[in-house]
Amino acid sequence: IGDLSPMTALDTARPIRDIRDGMYPVGVRSPDPKLNAHSKTGVLMYDRPFLLQFQDIVIQRPPRLATLEQLSGL
């Protein structure tokens, strides 16, 4: 991420239009393509190992991100 703070990086990130077109830097594992083989445009799923590789980089929760409780309906 370089000199950008995590929130600045999120604020300037571009949406992924097609997960199959994703190019990742060396050392970054891509998401499991099977999860999105039949996904609708703009609706993507990411596997746990893909997300966990960023846990030490992105340490702030975006304000619009739902909590786990909201997602699971608890």
Mean pLDDT of 57-72: 79
The domain spans of the chain are: 1-60
Confidence of residue 35 (pLDDT cuts 50, 70, 90): confident
User: 37 pLDDT exceeds 50?
Assistant: yes
C-alpha distances in Å from residue 12, one per residue of 6, 27, 58, 66: 10, 22, 14, 20
Phi, psi for residue 67 in degrees, rounded to 5: -80, 165
Give residue-wise pLDDT tens across range 3-30: 555 566 767 777 766 656 667 778 888 8
pLDDT of residue 1: 46
Phi-psi region of 27 (alpha: psi -120 to 50; beta: other; left: phi over 0): left
The whole-model pTM stands at 0.52
What is the residue-averaged pLDDT of the chain? Answer: 76
